[in-house]
Amino acid sequence: MDKYSDLRKIASKLRTDIIEMLREAKSGHPGGSLSACEVLTALYFKEMRVNPNNPEWPDRDRFVLSKGHGAPVLYAALAEKGFFPKEELMKLRKTGAMLQGHPDMKGTPGVDMTTGSLGQGLAAANGMALAGKLDKKDYRVYALIGDGEAQEGIIWEAAMLAAHYKLDNLTVFMDHNRLQIDGLNKEVMNIEPIDEKFRAFGWHVINIDGHSFEDIFNALEEAKNTKGKPTMIIANTVKGKGVSFMENQAGWHGKAPSEEEAKKAIGEIGGVING
């Protein structure tokens, strides 16, 4: 029996919700939301200590979506976890609605940090982790950055700080799908060898298959057992994962599906749900 079958079903639900909310909004970012479904599922439905009935619980684990344009996957996870009604998903990006194009900590239960300007989320996660150390709290801080986002200088300033202050309560995932809005990372601004760069900055680095729950949980356990330095988990993923015509296509970085495309996409994802 597949011990991760329940989590796989949740990841498929998140993918369906992402497609449906973007179809309804007629704008948004499907590619990098679909690629992060397993990571968000693992964090919110098994790993992280959170309470949907008390979103600001002081001792909760924190999560920062540094690649804020991937908001649909975070919203789908928060709704599925029970932080707010799933009906809110269909109001994505609408004027006055709870769920805007980037996460807003003042307007959305469960969002720990407002993000959007690339690179700043990792710096904010550093602050949370450092505060936890200073306050002698045992909560952990998790963040998700994009590989294109690693082209931002602030990422490397934050990387230096996290290592300098030995933030071993900080675990960061990189959604390494190798594509950004303008094409391949290696053609826009090559970031490789990204693992060696973070090691050089003083991080513990783990390379995984970002769609494998076994890899994700093994890496999370290794991160918790790593002392004296932050951990970067490079999650090798497929942009647009789960939808054949979106996979590995930079054009789906920030384009909403049409009614027909959404129906086809949900049909493919539904096939995963139904086995």
Query: What pLDDT, on the 0 to 100 scale, is given for residue 172?
Result: 99
Residue 2 has pLDDT above 90, yes or no: no
Per-residue tokens: 89: 């998903």
pTM of the model: 0.97
Q: How confident is the model at residue 103 (pLDDT cuts 50, 70, 90)?
A: very high
Q: How confident is the model at residue 274 (pLDDT cuts 50, 70, 90)?
A: very low
Averaged pLDDT, 199-226: 98
Listed residue (242, 249, 231) closest to 73, CA to CA: 242
| Distance, CA of 120 to CA of 126 (rounded, Å) | 10
Averaged pLDDT, 87-99: 97
Averaged pLDDT, 149-175: 98
Average pLDDT, the chain: 96
Beta-bridge mates of residue 145 = 174
- Kind plus residue range of the DSSP H or E element containing 218: helix 213-224
Task: Quote the crossing angle between the two packed helices 71-81 and 5-25, to the nearest 10°.
Answer: 120
Residue 271 has pLDDT above 90, yes or no: no
Averaged pLDDT, 188-205: 98
Residue 101 has pLDDT above 60, yes or no: yes
Cα-Cα-Cα-Cα dihedral sign, residues 16, 118, 168, 212: positive
**Per-domain boundaries in the chain:** 5-273
The DSSP code for 98 is S
CATH C-level class of 5-273: alpha beta
Query: What pLDDT, on the 0 to 100 scale, is given for residue 273?
Result: 45
Q: Is-contact 20 262, C-beta < 8 A? A: yes
Query: Of all residues in the chain, what percent carry a pLDDT higher than 70?
Result: 98
Residue 272 has pLDDT above 90, yes or no: no
Query: What pLDDT, on the 0 to 100 scale, is given for residue 23?
Result: 97
User: CA angle, corner 39, sides to 38 and 42, nearest 5?
Assistant: 80
List, for residues 137-156, the tens digit of each pLDDT value: 999 999 999 999 999 999 99
